[in-house]
């Protein structure tokens, strides 16, 4: 029995309902066989008046089978091209049937799923929040290789199609209708197939209804083809604009642009072959392997609860107390209120707490202005936040998050003072970015209910939460912190206790290596430019200015006072440079009047000239390849040490955490995944080269040496 159910009604309309054996419909071998048999049957069907493609699954169609794509290796391109040709040939035959074909979209239709929809003459979608369409392959280092680039370019025109293709935008049903991605909406799922059939019957006197626009005589691409002056100008400037955005590190966007331009330049079927060649190239690249491994498989495992303890019932936070209405506290209050949680935002004065709430009011006002929210909804969310200077308002909180200065004495004082306000078995979370949770929990009456909940700034935009377990943190507490992170729509990673945990500890090596190269005499402009060329969001010296040299100096003193100085790396060079900058030259960072950079009133910045006098040596010659590897490998090595020491519980936590929390270059797939495609033995060898030239901090961790010896990868 076929996994495609075939039903013909009295009007001659065949409904093909896709119901594959897995949890979702996917473009794998089973699909190819079922589609081939279905197309052949449709082509021979007597009295056929139309076709409706429907799905028996919650998801309309999930796209390509990423296990197959991940398995493709160099040398497999010819076989891959043959499979692509067969898949495309089936869709081409579908859209060339002599009768109208309609997609009845009942759920998500992404990637290959939406490519099937594009091969239909008409697209009807259920107007439901679970129905989204789009071509997000670029986010996995790929391109839509089932005809998606070519068809969308022909449907919308080059200029309109490029944002969907280059950004991988996922579009909700109502917006998709407005933007021309679907043609019709229905209010309920039950109306889908009847609406599709009704459209077919309404077109019985329209011969063009069964012909795709690009197959009609005299068809012209909306907005013009590649020869149109406006499009020709766009084609001239787009490569430079794209290169500025990707820095040449992501091949998929460049291939997508090339294929889209080809679709605007050549005939339809030739453009399809060019698209196939591009995907056959991309699918074997290390970048695609890295991005598929982490952004799809790793992310699905984490979001599916792989790091959450088993056997504990999910619970939602009803009332959260946030201590400290500064930059972090006000952001935590906002995302909590947006999730429907009652918030008490407490500071030392009512005025400070009110100022913290005003941050949420400003963000909500922007949403109202953009039409994303009504004034009533804004008022409801603001009503969830109670600014306060009174501890009594915190009574009954099932979660309290402390977000005050990184001072252990202050944090201990607040814990002792306010912990009794928690509801019975309530959870205390600290938003510390570096201080060990086990030591912070020493002030708690219930250290088993004490956990680190590390947010990233700005909280409303950053998608990650790093959950840190102290020595006595219970599984129940971990599960509740994990559930809270999901409740406020964040991706949680779970790590064990350590100074700096995973993200701060690893990111610190990037800053440290930048400072070391500065001390060695390298040009500061070159250091920061190469950091960005590597794919990091900002150069290390520029980041240091933002996080504050003054704050680093104070943190280093705090760690020393606690007896927990960073034992993982020799930070003496950084301490010396920071002390020189702050104590001798008053250069504390951007918010202290300037640091490595000086800042103009118009927002521009340039390297502080004194930096050249202090450190620059024109005779210093560090190869650029070494400079980039030093900044990357320091972070990778530290990530592996965190895995080796048990600070990281899983490889997925390390990869997702490095991408979302540290800003690891997307092309790496995360700092640990990078080692897999670089080659574990190659990584060990390169570490030893760097160690011989620049110091023992580059020695490969034992975990990497062992993996190389056994021929294993990190999984």
CATH number, residue 561: 1.10.1040.50
What average pLDDT does range 226-241 have in this prediction? Answer: 95
What average pLDDT does range 65-83 have in this prediction? Answer: 90
Q: Looking at the structure, tell me whether residues 357 and 465 fall in a common domain.
A: yes
Q: Looking at the structure, tell me whether residues 118 and 209 fall in a common domain.
A: yes
- pLDDT score at 488: 98
Q: Can you tell me the distance from the alpha carbon of 292 to that of 277, in angstroms, rounded to the nearest whole number?
A: 19
pLDDT exceeds cutoff 80 at 621: yes
Q: Looking at the structure, tell me whether residues 338 and 280 fall in a common domain.
A: no
Q: Looking at the structure, tell me whether residues 474 and 512 fall in a common domain.
A: no
Look over the chain and give the mean of its residue pLDDT values, rounded to a whole number: 95
pLDDT exceeds cutoff 70 at 558: no
Q: Looking at the structure, tell me whether residues 517 and 481 fall in a common domain.
A: no
Q: Looking at the structure, tell me whether residues 71 and 203 fall in a common domain.
A: yes
Whether residue 192 lies inside any domain: the answer is yes
- pLDDT score at 572: 83
Q: Is 98 helix (H, G, I), strand (E, B) or coil?
A: coil
Domain boundary among 590, 622, 654: 622
Whether residue 686 lies inside any domain: the answer is no
pLDDT exceeds cutoff 60 at 120: yes
Domain boundary among 284, 300, 335: 284
Q: What's the burial of 686, exposed, middle or buried (CB within 10 Å: 0-12/13-18/19+)?
A: middle
Whether residue 150 lies inside any domain: the answer is yes
Residue 2 — very low, low, confident or very high, per pLDDT cuts 50/70/90? confident
Whether residue 648 lies inside any domain: the answer is no
Whether residue 81 lies inside any domain: the answer is yes
With tokens 């009594």, the residue in question is 392
What average pLDDT does range 195-208 have in this prediction? Answer: 96
Q: Looking at the structure, tell me whether residues 483 and 539 fall in a common domain.
A: no
The tens digit of pLDDT for each residue in 684-711 reads: 999 999 999 999 999 999 999 999 999 9
Q: Looking at the structure, tell me whether residues 417 and 565 fall in a common domain.
A: no
Q: Looking at the structure, tell me whether residues 478 and 512 fall in a common domain.
A: no
The tokens for 125 are 């979608």
pLDDT exceeds cutoff 80 at 569: no
Tell me which residues are annotated as active site. 454
- pLDDT score at 505: 93
pLDDT exceeds cutoff 70 at 318: yes
- pLDDT score at 354: 97
pLDDT exceeds cutoff 90 at 297: yes
Whether residue 418 lies inside any domain: the answer is yes
Percent of the chain with pLDDT over 70: 98
Residue 259 sits in a domain whose CATH number is 3.90.226.10
Q: In total, how many domains does the chain have? A: 3
CB-based contacts of 371, cutoff 8 Å, min separation 6: none
- pLDDT score at 64: 86
Residue 547 — very low, low, confident or very high, per pLDDT cuts 50/70/90? confident
Residue 471 sits in a domain whose CATH number is 3.40.50.720
- pLDDT score at 68: 87
Whether residue 406 lies inside any domain: the answer is yes
Q: Looking at the structure, tell me whether residues 274 and 149 fall in a common domain.
A: yes
Domain boundary among 258, 284, 310: 284
Mutual angle of helices 503-519 and 524-534, in 10-degree steps: 140
Residue 553 — very low, low, confident or very high, per pLDDT cuts 50/70/90? confident
- pLDDT score at 552: 79
pLDDT exceeds cutoff 80 at 336: yes
Residue 313 — very low, low, confident or very high, per pLDDT cuts 50/70/90? very high
Domain range for residue 181? 4-284
Q: Report the candidate in 90, 485, 160, 508 with the shortest Cα–Cα distance to residue 314.
A: 485
pLDDT exceeds cutoff 70 at 289: yes
The tens digit of pLDDT for each residue in 375-397 reads: 999 999 999 999 999 999 999 99
- pLDDT score at 188: 97
Whether residue 74 lies inside any domain: the answer is yes
- pLDDT score at 447: 97
pLDDT exceeds cutoff 90 at 59: yes
The tens digit of pLDDT for each residue in 570-618 reads: 678 989 999 999 999 999 999 899 999 999 989 899 999 999 999 999 9
- pLDDT score at 554: 73
Strand partners, 400: 321, 428
Q: Report the candidate in 441, 359, 386 with the shortest Cα–Cα distance to residue 408.
A: 441
Q: Looking at the structure, tell me whether residues 404 and 266 fall in a common domain.
A: no
What average pLDDT does range 499-507 have in this prediction? Answer: 93
Percent of the chain with pLDDT over 90: 92
pLDDT exceeds cutoff 80 at 344: yes
CA pseudo-torsion sign 631, 633, 637, 640? positive
The tens digit of pLDDT for each residue in 392-435 reads: 999 999 999 999 988 899 999 999 999 999 999 999 999 998 89
Q: What's the burial of 572, exposed, middle or buried (CB within 10 Å: 0-12/13-18/19+)?
A: exposed
- pLDDT score at 513: 97
- pLDDT score at 563: 60
Q: Looking at the structure, tell me whether residues 487 and 520 fall in a common domain.
A: no
């Amino acid at each position: 029995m076929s996994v495609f159910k075939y039903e013909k009604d009295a009007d001659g309309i065949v409904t093909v309902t896709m119901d594959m054996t897995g949890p979702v419909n996917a473009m794998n071998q089973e699909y190819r066989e079922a589609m081939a048999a279905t197309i052949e049957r449709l082509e021979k069907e007597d009295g056929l008046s139309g076709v409706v493609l429907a799905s028996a699954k919650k998801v309309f169609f999930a796209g390509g089978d990423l296990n197959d794509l991940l398995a493709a290796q160099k040398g497999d391109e010819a076989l891959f091209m043959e499979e692509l040709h067969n898949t495309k040939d089936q869709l081409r035959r579908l859209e060339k049937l002599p009768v109208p074909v309609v997609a009845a979209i009942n759920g998500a239709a992404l990637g290959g799923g939406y490519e099937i929809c594009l091969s239909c003459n008409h697209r009807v979608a259920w107007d439901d929040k679970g129905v989204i369409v789009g071509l997000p392959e670029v986010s996995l280092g790929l391109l839509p290789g089932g005809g998606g680039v070519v068809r969308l370019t022909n449907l919308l025109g080059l200029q309109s199609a490029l944002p969907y293709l280059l950004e991988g935008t996922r579009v909700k049903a109502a917006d998709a209708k407005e933007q021309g991605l679907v043609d019709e909406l229905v209010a309920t799922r039950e109306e889908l197939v009847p609406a599709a059939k009704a459209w077919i019957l309404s077109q019985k006197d329209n011969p063009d209804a069964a012909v795709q626009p690009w197959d009609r005589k005299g068809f012209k691409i909306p907005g013009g083809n590649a020869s149109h002056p406006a499009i020709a100008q766009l084609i001239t400037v787009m490569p430079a604009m794209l290169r500025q955005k990707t820095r040449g590190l992501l091949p998929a966007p460049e291939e997508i642009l090339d294929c889209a331009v080809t679709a605007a330049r050549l005939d339809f079927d030739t453009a399809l072959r060019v698209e196939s060649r591009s995907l056959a190239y991309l699918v074997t690249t290390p970048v695609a392997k890295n991005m598929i491994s982490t952004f799809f498989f790793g992310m699905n495992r984490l979001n599916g609860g792989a790091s959450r303890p088993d056997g504990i019932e999910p619970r939602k936070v009803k009332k959260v107390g946030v201590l400290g209405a500064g930059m972090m506290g006000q952001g935590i209050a906002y995302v909590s209120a947006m999730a429907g949680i009652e918030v008490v935002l407490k500071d030392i004065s009512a005025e400070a707490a009110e100022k913290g709430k005003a941050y949420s009011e400003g963000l909500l006002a922007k949403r109202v202005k953009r039409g994303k929210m009504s004034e009533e909804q804004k008022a409801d969310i603001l009503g969830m936040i109670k600014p306060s200077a009174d501890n009594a308002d915190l009574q009954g909180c099932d979660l309290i998050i402390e977000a005050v200065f990184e001072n252990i004495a202050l944090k201990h004082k607040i814990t002792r003072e306010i912990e009794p306000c928690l509801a019975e078995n309530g959870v205390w979370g600290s938003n510390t970015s570096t201080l060990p949770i086990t030591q912070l929990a020493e002030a708690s009456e219930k250290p088993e209910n004490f956990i680190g909940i590390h947010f990233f700034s700005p909280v409303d935009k950053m998608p990650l939460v790093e959950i840190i377990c102290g020595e006595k943190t219970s599984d129940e507490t971990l599960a509740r912190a994990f559930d809270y992170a999901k409740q406020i729509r964040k991706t949680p990673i779970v790590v064990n206790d350590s100074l700096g945990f995973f993200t701060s500890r690893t990111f610190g090596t990037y800053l440290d290596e930048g400072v070391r190269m500065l001390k060695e005499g390298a040009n500061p402009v070159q250091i920061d430019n190469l950091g960005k060329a590597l794919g990091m969001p900002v150069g290390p010296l520029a980041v240091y200015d933002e996080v504050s040299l003054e704050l680093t100096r104070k943190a280093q003193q705090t760690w020393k006072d606690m007896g927990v100085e960073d034992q993982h790396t020799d930070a003496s060079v950084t301490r010396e440079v920071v002390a020189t900058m702050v104590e001798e030259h008053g250069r504390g960072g951007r918010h202290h009047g300037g640091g490595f950079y000086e800042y103009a009133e118009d927002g521009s910045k340039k390297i502080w000239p004194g930096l050249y006098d202090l450190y620059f040596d024109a005779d210093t010659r560090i190869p650029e390849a070494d400079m980039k590897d030093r900044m990357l490998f320091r972070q990778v090595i530290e990530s592996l040490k965190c895995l080796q020491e048990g600070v990281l519980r899983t490889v997925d936590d390390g990869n997702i955490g490095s991408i979302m929390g540290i800003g690891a270059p997307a092309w790496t797939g995360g700092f640990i995944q990078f080692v897999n495609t670089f080659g574990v033995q190659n990584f060990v060898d390169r570490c030893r080269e760097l160690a011989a030239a620049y110091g023992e901090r580059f020695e490969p961790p034992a975990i990497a040496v062992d993996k190389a010896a056994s021929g294993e990868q990190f999984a």
